[in-house]
């Protein structure tokens, strides 16, 4: 986001204004999560994934009742979902791609724990279920911030690629967790419409421009 020109080091009132005027806001963790800010140093020193990678999302200071969370191991998918249930979260998806990524994957099945109506459902999601072709995980990897920014812009401009399909897959679950629909195919069409109508790209530009003025 910073590479694309956005100002992300915003305080609570500035993020509030972003959400009210643009509809989205970026909450820079150290500004909103003082407790977790103190563990950033030790976490980096340890150099391996640990409980700190899970505590952050679980102690979300925004109090979000609907969440889509990626975890670094499939052994934590159900555990995090049950923790969210205990915290009173209304609706959630906890995901882990079996290729090792903490997102819904385009290159492998994804282990998912779905929290809905107070119950946790555990299952595997395969991209092929919605007609997606799978791609090697290397097709979505980037090696620099510049490369990542270019990929983001190409996706939002509707240029079809493995990364574009990856974004669609994750958007499906983001749309579903929001409560707009429980139908994966409808959520997919909504995601495509957002991109190909130009709305998603316009939203990013509006976000960048307003952030720079705050």
Of 78, 73, 150, the closest CA to residue 114 belongs to 78
Of 8, 23, 63, 37, the closest CA to residue 206 belongs to 23
Quote the DSSP letter at residue 134: P
User: pLDDT tens, 156-176?
Assistant: 999 999 999 999 999 999 999
Is pLDDT above 70 for 153? Answer: yes
CB 94 within 8 A of CB 80: yes
Contacts of 93 (CB under 8 A, 6+ apart): 67, 68, 69, 112, 113, 114, 115, 173, 176, 177
Is pLDDT above 90 for 42? Answer: no
Spatial distance between the Cα atoms of 86 and 96, rounded to a whole number of angstroms: 21
Is pLDDT above 80 for 41? Answer: no
| Residue-level pLDDT at 55 | 79
Average pLDDT of the chain to the nearest whole number: 93
In order of their start, the domains of the chain are 12-213 (3.40.1030.10)
| Residue-level pLDDT at 61 | 77
Give me 214's structure tokens: 């705050």
Spatial distance between the Cα atoms of 4 and 70, rounded to a whole number of angstroms: 24
Confidence band, pLDDT 50/70/90 cuts, at residue 36: low
Per-residue pLDDT averaged across 21-49, rounded? 76
Is pLDDT above 80 for 143? Answer: yes
| Residue-level pLDDT at 158 | 97
Confidence band, pLDDT 50/70/90 cuts, at residue 146: very high
CB 125 within 8 A of CB 104: yes
| Residue-level pLDDT at 210 | 98
pTM value is 0.91
User: pLDDT tens, 57-93?
Assistant: 788 878 899 999 999 999 999 999 999 999 999 999 9
| Residue-level pLDDT at 92 | 98
């Amino acid at each position: 986001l910073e590479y694309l020109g956005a100002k992300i080091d915003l305080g609570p009132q500035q993020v509030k204004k972003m959400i009210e005027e643009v509809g989205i806001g970026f909450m820079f963790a150290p500004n909103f999560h003082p407790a977790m800010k103190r563990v950033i140093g030790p976490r980096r020193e340890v150099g391996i994934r640990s409980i700190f990678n899970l505590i952050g999302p679980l102690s979300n200071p925004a109090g979000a009742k609907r969440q889509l969370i990626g975890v670094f191991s499939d052994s934590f998918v159900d555990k995090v979902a049950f923790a969210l249930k205990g915290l009173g979260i209304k609706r959630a998806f906890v995901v882990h791609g079996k290729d090792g990524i903490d997102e819904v994957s385009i290159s492998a099945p994804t282990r998912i724990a779905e929290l809905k109506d107070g119950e946790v459902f555990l299952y595997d999601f395969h991209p092929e279920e919605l007609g997606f072709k799978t791609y090697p995980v290397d097709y979505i990897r980037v090696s620099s911030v510049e490369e990542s920014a270019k990929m983001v812009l190409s996706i939002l401009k509707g240029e079809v690629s493995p990364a574009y399909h990856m974004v669609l897959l994750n958007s499906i679950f983001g749309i579903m967790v929001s409560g707009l629909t429980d139908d994966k195919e409808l959520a997919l069409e909504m995601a495509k419409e957002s991109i190909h109508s130009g709305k998603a790209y316009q939203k990013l530009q509006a976000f960048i421009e307003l952030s720079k003025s705050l």
